[in-house]
Amino acid sequence: MEKTKEELYSEMSGAVVNMEEELSVQLSQKAVEFGYDAFEAIDQGLAKGMEQAGRFFDEGEYFVPELLMCADALSAGVEILKPYIKTEQHEEKHKIVIGVIAGDTHDIGKNLVKLMLSSAGFEVIDLGRDVPPSVFVEQAVKENAKIIMISSLMTTTMDGMADVINLLNEKGIRNEFKVAVGGGPVSRRFADKIGADGYSSNANQAIKMANELIGRQ
């Protein structure tokens, strides 16, 4: 008997949660064969699985290796479905530029945040690691981003986060962007001190924060 659409979406979600990359690909191919809407299959299937993985991460059920593998299963499925998305379905995605501040090459946290935000429907432009403050500002302007996200895992590089905000102030464009910071040694107190708009202590919470920053629930 044929699976219903809901059953298939639920299995797709399960494949992501269970880190099953091949199954995610197979089920995504099935969704294409059955002629289901590709956007819906991502949104109601694969992305739901990633949301669940994020909750497991929050609850201490999953850790970084598991979350990364779920993300691999998600992207493998998305790759199959992407060519079938009808262009008019693209709601305008809010852009975020993200990077690790100059002096620091630890990018595990940044990569986690990036993949959680991408799976939650943001367009994330990755500036990489060891990024000078001026580049955050240039790229945010160029990309017309809504949010600038800066990560640091070394206390030695945290001053650079404040420099990004100072640069925005100097150029008189501070109000055009929301600035969010995160990373191991960064605290809410530090974020407030340098005048950042947002702070998140982990990758899953970053989704909620980003939604709040752009005024979306």
130 touches another protein by CB under 8 A: yes
Closest of 40, 31, 72 to residue 53, by C-alpha? 72
**What is the distance between the alpha carbons of residues 150 and 199, in angstroms, rounded to a whole number?**
10
- What is the contact mask toward another protein in residues 143 to 182, using x (rule: CB under 8 A)? -----------xxxxxx-----------------------
Per CB under 8 A, the segment of 31-39, 77-85, 103-111, 134-142 that binds another protein is: 103-111
52 touches another protein by CB under 8 A: no
62 touches another protein by CB under 8 A: yes
Which residue type is seen at 24? S
Residue closer to another protein (CB basis): 60 or 172: 60
Per CB under 8 A, the segment of 30-38, 137-145, 162-170, 187-195 that binds another protein is: 187-195
Considering only 190, 200, 204, 210, the residue that binds another protein (CB under 8 A) is 190
66 touches another protein by CB under 8 A: yes
132 touches another protein by CB under 8 A: no
Considering only 22, 34, 89, 105, the residue that binds another protein (CB under 8 A) is 105
Considering only 25, 32, 68, 141, the residue that binds another protein (CB under 8 A) is 68
Least distance to another protein from the beta carbon of 157, Å?
Answer: 7
Least distance to another protein from the beta carbon of 93, Å?
Answer: 24
DSSP per position, the chain: -PPPHHHHHHHHHHHHHTT-HHHHHHHHHHHHHTT--HHHIIIIIIHHHHHHHHHHHHTTSS-HHHHHHHHHHHHHHHHHHGGG--GGG-PPPPEEEEEEBTT----HHHHHHHHHHHHTT-EEEE--SSB-HHHHHHHHHHHT-SEEEEE-S-GGGTHHHHHHHHHHHHTT-GGG-EEEEESTT--HHHHHHHT-SEE-SSHHHHHHHHHHHTT--
Per CB under 8 A, the segment of 6-14, 137-145, 164-172, 184-192 that binds another protein is: 184-192
Q: Are 70 and 53 in contact (CB under 8 A)?
A: yes
- Residues lying near another protein in the complex (CB under 8 A): 19, 60, 62-66, 68-69, 72, 102-105, 107-108, 111, 130, 154-159, 184-185, 187, 190, 193
